[in-house]
Structure 1
Amino acid sequence: MNTSTFLEILKVAEKLKCNTRHSWTSSGRHESVAEHSWRIALMALLMRDEFPKIDMDKVIHMCLIHDLGEAFTGDIPTFEKKEQDSEKEDEIFFQWIATFPTPYREEFTELLKEMNERKTDEAKLYKALDSLEAVIQHNEADISTWIPLEYDLQFTYGADKVEFSPYLKELKEEIDKKSTEKIAQKDEA
Structure 2
Amino acid sequence: MKPEKLIEVLSLAERLKDAVRHCYTSGGRRESVAEHSWRITLMAYLVSDEFPEADLLKLMKMCLIHDLGEAFTGDIPTFEKTKADSEKEADVLGEWVESLPEPFCKEMAELYEEMEEQQTLEARIYKALDKLEALIQHNESDIKTWIPLEYDLQMTYGNEQVKFSEYLTELREQVREDSVKKIRDARR
Q: What range is the shorter-chain TM-score in?
A: over 0.9
Instruction: Give the Cα–Cα distance (whole angstroms) in 1 for the partners of residues 87 and 41 of structure 2.
Output: 23
SS at structure 2 position matched to 1:71: helix
Q: CA deviation at 1:178?
A: 0.3
Deviations 1:131-167 (A, max 9, x none): 0000000000000000001000111110110000000
- Tell me, which stretches of 5 or more residues in structure 2 are unaligned? none
- Code of the residue aligned with 2:178 in structure 1: it is K
Question: Which residue number in structure 1 is paired with residue 138 of structure 2?
Answer: 138
Deviations 1:87-137 (A, max 9, x none): 111111110010000000000000000001111111000000000000000
- Code of the residue aligned with 1:69 in structure 2: it is G
Question: Which residue number in structure 2 is paired with residue 106 of structure 1?
Answer: 106
Instruction: Give the Cα–Cα distance (whole angstroms) in 2 for the partners of residues 124 and 93 of structure 1.
Output: 21
Instruction: Give the Cα–Cα distance (whole angstroms) in 2 for the partners of residues 178 and 37 of structure 1.
Output: 22
Q: Is 1:88 paired with 2:83?
A: no
SS at structure 1 position matched to 2:155: helix
Question: Which residue number in structure 2 is paired with residue 185 of structure 1?
Answer: 185
Question: Which residue number in structure 1 is paired with residue 172 of structure 2?
Answer: 172
Q: How many residues align?
A: 188
* Aligned structure 1 segments of 4 or more residues deviating by more than 6 angstroms: none
Return the TM-score normalized by structure 2: 0.99
- Tell me, which stretches of 5 or more residues in structure 1 are unaligned? none
Deviations 1:55-94 (A, max 9, x none): 1111100000000000000000011011121111111111
Identical columns (%): 58
SS at structure 1 position matched to 2:108: helix
Deviations 1:29-78 (A, max 9, x none): 00000000000000000011100001111110000000000000000001
Instruction: Give the Cα–Cα distance (whole angstroms) in 1 for the partners of residues 57 and 155 of structure 2.
Output: 29
Q: CA deviation at 1:7?
A: 0.1
Question: Which residue number in structure 2 is paired with residue 35 of structure 1?
Answer: 35
Question: Which residue number in structure 2 is paired with residue 152 of structure 1?
Answer: 152
SS at structure 2 position matched to 1:22: strand
Return the TM-score normalized by structure 1: 0.99
- Code of the residue aligned with 2:7 in structure 1: it is L
Instruction: Give the Cα–Cα distance (whole angstroms) in 2 for the partners of residues 111 and 87 of structure 1.
Output: 17
Instruction: Give the Cα–Cα distance (whole angstroms) in 2 for the partners of residues 45 and 91 of structure 1.
Output: 30
CA RMSD of aligned residues (A): 0.5
